[in-house]
C-alpha cells in the first residue's frame, strides 16, 4: 500500500474592499487562494497584503486565522480542500514554502498580472505572483497537478477542480481553525 500524505488548499473571501472589487470583476464567490500543510490552518502561505491594514503593499505571506488579515477579517468564509500527495511531495512542498518565507523579500505581488488577467492577458515575471497563480505554480512545481490541465490564468475558484481533491469544509475560517487550536499547543506555530 502506498504511503499517503495531505496538503490543503484554502479558497477564501475576506470581505475586504479588494475582495469585493475582485468578486465584482470575476463574478466568483471566493477570490483568494492559500496553501497549507497543516489541517488546523496554523500556517497558510499565499501572495497577499503584507500588513492587515494596508492593501497596497503585497508579497509572499504566511497567513493564519489568528493573526494578520484573517484575524482582522474574522468573518472570512472559506472552502478547504484536502489534496492527497506523497510524503516526498509534502516534505518538498513544506521545505519550499519555508524557503520562500525566509526569503520573502525576493517575492512580489503581481498586481499588473492580476489586472491583466481580468482581461485574459497573461503577464509573468520571475518571483512575482498573485495568489491563485502562486498556488497553481507551486502545485505544478511538485507534480501535484498538471498545469496543462488548467488555463494559463487560474482563478481561485478554478482550484476547486483539482483532481482527487476533497472538500472537507465550507464556512467560517476562524471557526474551523478554532476546533484545531483547542487540540494542540498553538503558540509554537505563531511566528
User: Which CATH number covers residue 25?
Assistant: 3.90.1720
pTM value > 0.85: yes
Q: Containing domain of residue 151, as a range?
A: 5-189
pLDDT at 11 over 60: yes
**Closest Cα to residue 63, out of 71, 74, 55?**
71
pLDDT at 127 over 60: yes
pLDDT of residue 190: 47
pLDDT of residue 180: 77
Number of domains in the chain: 1
pLDDT of residue 183: 58
Torsion sign (Cα): 138, 27, 38, 63: positive
Residue appearing with cell numbers 464556512: 171
Amino acid at each position: 500500500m502506498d504511503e499517503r500524505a495531505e496538503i490543503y488548499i484554502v479558497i477564501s473571501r475576506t470581505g475586504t474592499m479588494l475582495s469585493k472589487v475582485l468578486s465584482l470583476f470575476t463574478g466568483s464567490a471566493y477570490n483568494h487562494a492559500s496553501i497549507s500543510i497543516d489541517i488546523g490552518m496554523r500556517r497558510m502561505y499565499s501572495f497577499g497584503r503584507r500588513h492587515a491594514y494596508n492593501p497596497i503593499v503585497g508579497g509572499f505571506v504566511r497567513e493564519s486565522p489568528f493573526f494578520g488579515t484573517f484575524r482582522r477579517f474574522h468573518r472570512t468564509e472559506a472552502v478547504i480542500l484536502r489534496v492527497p500527495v506523497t510524503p516526498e511531495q509534502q516534505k518538498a512542498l513544506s521545505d519550499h514554502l519555508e524557503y520562500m518565507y525566509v526569503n520573502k523579500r525576493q517575492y512580489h505581488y503581481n498586481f499588473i498580472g492580476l489586472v491583466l488577467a481580468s482581461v485574459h492577458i497573461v503577464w509573468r515575471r520571475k518571483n512575482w505572483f498573485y495568489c491563485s497563480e502562486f498556488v497553481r505554480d507551486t502545485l505544478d512545481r511538485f507534480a501535484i497537478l498538471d498545469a496543462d490541465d488548467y488555463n494559463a490564468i487560474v482563478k481561485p475558484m478554478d482550484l476547486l477542480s483539482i483532481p482527487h481533491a476533497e472538500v472537507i469544509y465550507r464556512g467560517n475560517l476562524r471557526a474551523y481553525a478554532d476546533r484545531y487550536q483547542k487540540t494542540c499547543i498553538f503558540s509554537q506555530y505563531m511566528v
